Every structure is written in C-alpha cells, then in structure tokens.
Amino acid sequence: MEMTTVWAQLGSVTATVMFLYAMFDKFFPPPLRDHLLSYTNKFTTLVSPYVHITFHEFTGERLKRSEAFTAIQTYLSGNSSQRANRLKAEVIKDSQTPLMLSLDDNEEITDEFQGIKLWWISRKSTPKSQSFSFYPAADDRRFITLTFHRRHRDLITTKYLRHVLDEGKAIGSRNRQLRLYTNNPSSGWHGYKSAKWSHVVFEHPATFETLALHPKKKDEILKDLVKFQNAKNYYAKIGKAWKRGYLLYGPPGTGKSTMIAAMANFLNYDIYDVELTAVKDNSELRKLLIETPSKSIMVIEDIDCSLDLTGQRKKKPKETEDDDKPKDPVKKEEEEEKTMSKVTLSGLLNFIDGIWSSCGGERIIVFTTNFVDKLDPALIRTGRMDKHIELSYCCFEAFKVLARNYLDVETHDLFPRIEELLKETEMTPADVAENLMPKSLEEDERSCLQRLIEALETAKQEAQKKAEAKKKAGEEAKEKEEEKAKKKAEEEANEKEKSAEQEGKGNKNSGGGVTENGFH
C-alpha cells in the first residue's frame, strides 16, 4: 500500500511538472522564455559542480565540418561498441574490423582517464519549423558534449582532450577507406539533402606499377608527389598555401583518369570530382572548396569542355513566335537556373589559388584536357597548374608494362617487331591494352601479341593512306592555286593589251586634224 501511494504521488508530480512546462512553453513569449532560461542556467552552474564542453559538427557559420568533431566521433567509436546500447554501423571494406560502430544520436557513454570519470553524450537538435513542409528548410544539428567535475578542468583540457584527438586521428588512419565524391546541385543543399558532396567507396585498383607510362616520367611524378606530401613546413616557411596543381593533357585514351586514380591510391587521398555545370555561381564554388578537407584531390576533367570560361556561356536562341508570348517569371527564372551556370574564369582562378584556397591544406588540384591550346593561359600558368604532364601515345616501355599486366609476360620474340611498329605508329595505351586482353580461354600470349601486331600494321597502313591522301589533297590544292594564279595573270595581261590598244587608237584620232606643209 505504501509503494502504491508513493508511485501515485510520483505520477501526480510528474503530470504537474509536464503541465506547467507545457503552459510555460505555450503562453510565455520566446524572449521571456530565453531570459528565464538564461537565469536558470546560471543558477544551475552555480550549484552544479560539473563542467560541460560542447563540440559542434560544423564551424564557421556551418561552412566547414569540424575536424575535432570527426576525431572525437572516431575515438568514441572504439569505446561505444562495449558500453553503449544504441549504435550506428558503417561497413568498411578490406579492414580488420568490417563494421565501424559509433554512437547513435542522443546516446551516452562513460570514459575514464587517469582514474577520472567522464561522460560523452551524442546529441542532435532539430530546429522547429513554423510551417508544414515535406522538405524542412533547416537540417538537424549534431554535437557531442563532454561532462566532467570542475576540479579536473586543467587535466581534461590539456592532456585528455589532446589524447582523444590524437587517438581519434590514429584510429581514422587505420580504418581509412578512400572515397570518390561528386558535388550535388545547389538546389539540394538545404533541408534533408543538406550535403554538398555525395560519395561512394573508391575501389579503382590503378597504381603507378600498373600505369602504362615511361619509367623516367613515372619516377619524376612519384618524387614530386612525395615531396609535396612531406612539405608542410616548407610551404609554411615560404608563405604559400599547401596545395599543388597538375595539368594532365593528351589525346583521349592515354590514361589521364587512370593517372588520377593511381595518385589517389599512392597518397591515400580522397577524390573530389567537381562538375562545374552543376555549380550555379562563384559563391557556390567557394562553398564547395570550403567543404573539401585536407588529404584530397580535386579533379575537373575535360576543363576545356566543362564551361566556356572566356566567352558567353550559351548563344541566345533564335527568336520564334513563341518568344513574343509573355512567360511566367517564376518558370523563366527556374529555366535560367537549370540551363545556365554563372561560374566565370575569375571565379575559377580564385578557386584554384585565391584567398579561399588557403582554407585547408594538403590539397592537389588536377585539370585534364584533350586540347591544351584551348585553355586560357591564366588558367594553366605556374602557381595554378604547377606541373604539366603530357600523356601521349604508347611507347615501347609503356607497352612492356601493359604486357606484364595483361599477359604476365616480361619478354617475347615478338617484342622487337612491336617495338618497331610503335615507333612508326601512333596508338593509345587504351587501344594497345584492348588488343592485349585475351578474348577467350583458348588464347595465349602469342595470339594476343599477334593481334596487336596486326592492329599496329593496320593503323600504320591507315596512317599512310591518310598521309598520302593529305599529300594528294595538298598537291591538288597547290595545282588549283597555280592554275588560278596563271589564269589571273593571263587575264591581267589581256586587260593590259586591251588598254594599250585603246590608248593607241585614242592618240591616232587626236592627231588626224593637225596639218603643216602638207604633212600630218
């Protein structure tokens, strides 16, 4: 009976508190509520012996993800699997731990450091919306709170937090999995689709060992990458942002995309593939840059085709009868937003090496193009694109790499013939690799090499035919020019003769009426 009475009283008190809180939340205006809550927090702080430190997911007006938040989240993932009741799981491929567990939202775990007990709480706050919508205007805000006794403030703020950040970064490095990112359209940067980048796991197997490239050029690129990766103090000393630009140019099929994949695997950097046509203006381009962390490769492929950065974006279509009809201004604005990008050459240059490029470090920016002559000189000058790498047609050294990759062959009696043909014929590494790839289980290395020889001979004959046709066309054009010049010379000579005859007749007629002593 006593327990029943206690539970009844407790239920009554709880209901009273909930009723008072509902009345407070409904009838008190927000300014007054905030004022009262501030005094309540001050009173609680005076009474409570505990200190609370909050780490938010984003910093700088939510422009950039906090590295401290990421490190703490990774550190807690090592303890959460043993202590927390609600967890979030993420699959990690090719790792010692196939599942990485982390705290779920609004979950709490305890930690201990040098005999001191601490509490970590993962929280999420959802801003209240005044209007009903399927797509909320604001996204959830996540933060992690650390609670400890105030007597341990110095030890926690100096040693423990440094231990947490270092351990979190170490765990992240061990479980790191490369990702390939692409930028989302700006229309999806708000609400439940607030992420500016979407990613998939990067599983490209390309390495510099399998890259079809001349060994000297390959070694040169590797040394440059290693020097950049270890040059943090050097860049700080010279007062330059820790970044480097690479321009990859050459015909299609020469391995530009494969080179980027090999660079990412060698440096263990994520790839951020920037689609410029999905960026509305220069301001959005800067926001994408800020959201890009260190240890990343930013790629803009086919820069000469992404946008017309030196002239008009799009030619105005010819006017039609429908253009005379008035259009809905809302629909007109939506169409313009969908069809036009206002990214300018100036905005792209600032994106590469402007003031905003210093927000973060250890970044590599890569441009690829098939036609380097089409690019604006300001875009590829030293300081923006520091290293220009030409990826040309397949040479014999590159062929040997492909033969080892595709056929496990280091040498063969057909190699001399292939070397001779490669000197006389232009064939991309992609075409060479396609001919080396066995098409059935019965094919051996000789049949594949023989197929490559036939393809090279065919390409050589076609190149000779094209050269002969070009030569013949040049000779015909030259003959036409000569005939045209000869005809023009004859016409000029005839015109001179006619003008001379007309002058002679004119002189004869003018002298016929003059006589002296019987003589003309």
In a domain, 187, yes or no: yes
Residue ranges for the chain with pLDDT beneath 70: 1-2, 6, 24, 26-28, 33-35, 37-47, 60-64, 78-85, 90-100, 126-140, 188-194, 307-340, 504-520
At residue 141, φ and ψ (nearest 5 deg) are -115, 125
CB 126 within 8 A of CB 191: no
CB 241 within 8 A of CB 357: yes
In a domain, 13, yes or no: yes
**pLDDT at position 298, please?**
94
Give me 114's structure tokens.
């040098």
CB 467 within 8 A of CB 454: no
**pLDDT at position 211, please?**
93
**pLDDT at position 515, please?**
46
Does residue 21 sit in the same domain as residue 113?
yes
Total domains, the chain: 3
**pLDDT at position 308, please?**
63
In a domain, 499, yes or no: no
**pLDDT at position 136, please?**
44
Does residue 172 sit in the same domain as residue 66?
yes
In a domain, 490, yes or no: no
Q: Work out the burial of residue 32: count CB atoms within 10 Å of its CB; fewer than 13 is exposed, 13-18 middle, 19 or more buried.
A: exposed
Task: Report the SS3 class of residue 414.
Answer: coil
Does residue 377 sit in the same domain as residue 401?
no
Q: Which CATH number belongs to the domain containing residue 232 in this structure?
A: 3.40.50.300
Look-up of token digits 């321009």: 247
pLDDT by residue (tens digit) across 240-250?
889 999 999 99
**pLDDT at position 96, please?**
54
Single out the residue in 390, 424, 455 at which a domain terminates: 390
Does residue 20 sit in the same domain as residue 166?
yes
**pLDDT at position 369, please?**
93
* Residue 158, domain extent: 3-128+139-176
Does residue 367 sit in the same domain as residue 416?
no
Does residue 377 sit in the same domain as residue 445?
no
In a domain, 239, yes or no: yes
**pLDDT at position 188, please?**
61
Please count the residues of the chain.
520
**pLDDT at position 220, please?**
95
**pLDDT at position 105, please?**
76
Does residue 171 sit in the same domain as residue 83?
yes
Does residue 37 sit in the same domain as residue 113?
yes
**pLDDT at position 327, please?**
55
Does residue 461 sit in the same domain as residue 383?
no
DSSP character string of 9-56:
HHHHHHHHHHHHHHHHHHHS-HHHHHHHHHHHHHHHHHH--EEEEEEE
In a domain, 494, yes or no: no
In a domain, 48, yes or no: yes
Pairwise CA distance, residues 376 & 373, whole Å: 8
Pairwise CA distance, residues 166 & 29, whole Å: 45
Compute CA distances 194 → 62, 79, 138, 402, 411, whole Å. Answer: 11, 29, 8, 44, 55
Does residue 297 sit in the same domain as residue 364?
yes
Question: Which stretches of 84-160 are DSSP H helices?
Answer: 153-155
Pairwise CA distance, residues 394 & 169, whole Å: 42
In a domain, 415, yes or no: yes
Judged by phi (left if over 0) then psi (alpha if -120 to 50, else beta), residue 115 lies in left
**pLDDT at position 19, please?**
74
For 172-200, the three-class secondary structure string (H helix, E strand, C coil) is HHHCCCCEEEEECCHHHCCHHHCCCEEEE
Q: Which residues are within 8 A (CB) of 364 and not within 5 positions of it... i.e. 6 or more apart?
A: 228, 243, 244, 245, 246, 263, 267, 269, 296, 297, 298
Does residue 383 sit in the same domain as residue 432?
no
Does residue 16 sit in the same domain as residue 157?
yes
pTM score of the predicted model: 0.71
